[in-house]
Structure 1
Amino acid sequence: MPSPTPSPLPESAQRLRLWLAYAATLLVFGLLLTAPQLQRYLEHGGPHPWEPFLWELSSLLCNGLLGVALYRWHVAGLGRPRLLQIGRHALGAAVYFFAHVGGMFAIRFAVYAVVGVEYHPGSAANVLSYELGKDLVAYGLFVVICHGIHLFFSSQRQALQLQRLQQELAEARFARLAEQVQPHFLFNTLNLISSVMYEDVAKADRILCQLATLLRQALDAERQGWHSLDEELTLVQPFLEIMQARFGERLQVQLDIAPDARRCRLPALLLITPLENAIKHDVAQALQNSCVSLRAWCETGPTSPDGDRLKLRVHNSGTAPQRLSREGSIGLPNLRARLQAAYGDAAALHFGAAPEGGSELLLDLPSTMTPTNDATAADR
């Protein structure tokens, strides 16, 4: 499959990153506030250089913890009537102010008591009036930040939900397109072998048993969704054997599969439709012998500017392209739709006249390798 577009991080990862960014921002902001305080402190002959750090960082610590509670308080009030939200924030600002002042000075007095240094912050009235203005501004700033974080999380959740819905829709569409292949393939195959019932009952019975085995394998592959080209060939070869049993010498089959191409991943049952159409519209309607060939190879390096590519070519020796495209029923449209659902714009399909005569179908797909048996075993 093509490389998926970058998707939003899960909310848990977003929250962890946000917590780390929040803590780092508080620390940096606290140190920036401490620097001028420390300079003035030393200029005035302060005896304890750690005091400016204690003053600023104790305030930032309380603000940081209260900011977390404020986020929950703000989010819990969203969606309520505007007047009720204003009342909640008025109450929240009062609680924030007293909690900040109380917590900050509790930390400071505790530290000063431990180190045995006296602390005289001033009268309660002066302290409260000094801190009130700062805390009201801090509360308003925190409300704005909390609302922005809430909108960010909401947008991330919506993006994840949209991505999940798009993925489910793509998978459902891909499954529906894959389900079209089996009935189409089954009906056409039964039509091709039906005449054998009147010619050789034993041969017809043998072919029908092969067909039943092939359908079971195809059902398993369809459930799997994706597999290697080598696994796809395990479906293609029995199908070709059934067709050769039906048409005898009138059908000649050639397979030219490069070793590295066998490991490339592709949607299950992708090759049944083009091969079926090549046989149905060439061998089944021609009197002379016909050749259907399948070639697969990989292109890398300078020859493939879009990255590693898997190339597939289905060629039949006699049918005109206009006739095949007109008579392809759901074959080619289904194939195009499945490529679009699986690869988006990363895959290409070309159908037309082959240089050596007849018709060719070219598939150009992103090359994604499956692990080798040794590598898989090592991983385990």
Structure 2
Amino acid sequence: MTTARQQRSLVWAYAASVLAVGLLQSLAELQHYLERGGEHPWEPFLWELSSVLMTGLLGPLIYRWHLLGLALPGRLRLSVHHLVGAAGYTLAHVAGMFGLRFAVYALAGLAYRPGSAAEILAYETGKDLVSYAIIVAICHGIYVMVEMRRREQELLQLRAELAEAQLTRLTEQIQPHFLFNTLNLISSVMYEDVARADRILCDLAALLRQALSAQDSGRHTLAQELSLVEPYLNIMQARFGERLSVQIEASEEARRCLLPALLLIAPVENAITHDVAQSSGPVRVSVGAEVLAGELLLTVKNSGIAARRDHRDGAIGMANTRARLLSLYGERAQLALQADAAGGSCLSLRLPAELQ
């Protein structure tokens, strides 16, 4: 969309271009005029500027006339349309141009005898037909440029709407997937320890309330994201007891950075369900966040088994995380999963650091 300020800038640029062309032609004609012994140096400026001024005034009308012609079906009708336009341009250009000249000569008290109307039309028609063709060609080029710009904007809007729809679908997938796994965990605890199951249900209720709010916002700060991760980790610690220890380390600058809502839930969930559940010994899960060189670096580390973890890249949670980052940031975001020498693994996410 062109704003009013942009429109004014275009009008001034167009007027300046018309004036520049008129002055250049006037200066060229002035040399010939002086060589022929002309006595009034302003005359070449009047002749050329009057012609260019009328052309400049008629230019926008020709553009609109050309747009009307493009809406007509068939090339024959377009040709007839422009023949009528060429005739109208010639009559308007000649009438306006010579009307200005006669007026200025009258004010100067000089006689102006350009010839009869038939002679003027015969002389000017050929030049005006060429000028009209050139103006139409320029108008068509402008039309093509405007249409390309409009289509590019429509394409960008469609892509944005598609990305938003994809993100909505992906986020909706995360919620039932997480809820399904958490309810399974609660069901496995409730017959062993009712009080512990009750605490887990309370944490789950708080977590879901915050998750629904986060989902509506789309993006929030890392501090808000960690307020979602912590209740989940409380639930997992209630489930696994001493087998699981957790640690969260995030700098103050990192906590102010914006990121997609529910981004860390899937990686943390995978670290626990695929490592703690499969490990007989104690497992440590740590979440880290810091800002480095304009990027927000998020890490989810665990000390559990790391054998054959490549299958997790295809899991619902990890696949959605990767797809969300791609939709939001493109190549500016990175996700990597690596095994360490001690048998654990580290999931790292890099995305642009955007402070709230």
For the criterion TM > 0.5, the same-fold answer is yes
Q: 1:354 aligns with which of 335, 340, 343?
A: 340
* CA distance in structure 2 between the partners assigned to 1:158 and 1:193 by the alignment: 53
Matched, 1:49 2:35: no
8 A contact 2:69–2:82 mirrored in 1: no
Offset from partner CA, 1:350-371 (integer Å, 9 cap, x none) = 112124431111112222222x
C-alpha contact 2:287 2:300 (8 A) present in aligned 1:
yes
2:55 is aligned to: 63
Q: CA deviation at 1:268?
A: 0.9
Q: Equivalent residue for 1:364?
A: 350
Q: 2:204 aligns with which of 194, 200, 211?
A: 211
**Residue in structure 1 matched with residue 28 of structure 2 by the alignment:** 36
Correspondence 1:130 to 2:123: yes
- Counterparts of 1:87 and 1:67 in 2: how far apart (Å)? 19
1:48, distance to aligned residue in structure 2 (A): 3.1
Q: How does 1:244-263 map to 2 (within 5 A)?
A: 244-263=237-256
Q: Give 3-state SS (helix, strand or coil) of 2:284's partner.
A: strand
Q: CA deviation at 1:72?
A: 1.1
Give the structure 2 partner of residue 5 of structure 1: none
CA contact (8 A) 1:218 1:269 kept: yes
Q: Residue 297 of structure 1 aligns to a residue in which SS?
A: strand
User: Is the counterpart of residue 322 in structure 1 residue 322 in structure 2?
Assistant: no
**What amino acid does structure 1 have at the position aligned with 2:58?**
L
Structure 1: how far apart are the matches of 2:114 and 2:108?
A: 17
- My pick for the range that moved more, 354-363 or 338-347, is 354-363
What is the Cα deviation at residue 80 of structure 1? 1.9
Q: Please state whether the residue corresponding to 1:298 is helix, strand or coil.
A: strand
Where does structure 2 lack aligned partners over 5 or more consecutive residues? Answer: none
User: Could you tell me which amino acid in structure 1 is paired with residue 317 of structure 2?
Assistant: G
The residue that corresponds to 2:91 in the other structure is 98
- Identity of paired residues, percent? 57
Q: How does 1:200-239 map to 2 (within 5 A)?
A: 200-239=193-232
Give the whole-Å Cα distance in 2 for the aligned partners of 1:103 and 1:123: 16
User: Structure 1 stretches of 5 or more lacking a match?
Assistant: 1-9, 301-307, 371-380
Aligned counterpart, 1:278: 271
Q: Which residue of 2 aligns with 1:199?
A: 192
Secondary structure at the residue paired with 2:350?
strand
3-state SS of 1:198 partner:
coil
Which whole-Å CA distance do the structure 2 matches of 1:195 and 1:89 have between them?
A: 82
- Equivalent position amino acid for 2:53 in 1: L
Matches within 5 A, 1:275-314: 275-300=268-293, 308-314=294-300
CA distance in 2: counterparts of 1:323 and 1:102, whole angstroms: 84
- TM normalised by structure 2 equals 0.92
Q: 1:39 to 1:324 in 2, by over 3 A?
A: closer
| Distance in 2, Cα, partners of 1:324 & 1:149 | 54
Q: How many Å apart are 1:286 and its aligned residue? A: 3.1
Change (3 A) 1:251 1:265: same
Q: Residue 288 of structure 2: SS of its match in structure 1? A: strand
Local SS of the residue matching 1:62? helix
CA spacing shift, 1:280–1:225, aligned 2, 3 Å: same
1:340 corresponds to which residue?
A: 326
Higher mean Cα deviation, 49-58 or 11-20? 11-20
**Number of residue pairs aligned between Structure 1 and Structure 2:** 354
Give how far 1:328 is off: 6.8
Contact 1:207 1:245 in 2 (8 A): yes
Structure-2 separation of matches of 1:19 and 1:152:
18
- Per-residue displacement from partner, 1:79-129 (whole Å, max 9, x unpaired)? 422222222211111111111111111222223333444333233233222
Q: Is the 8 A contact 1:281 1:327 kept in 2?
A: no
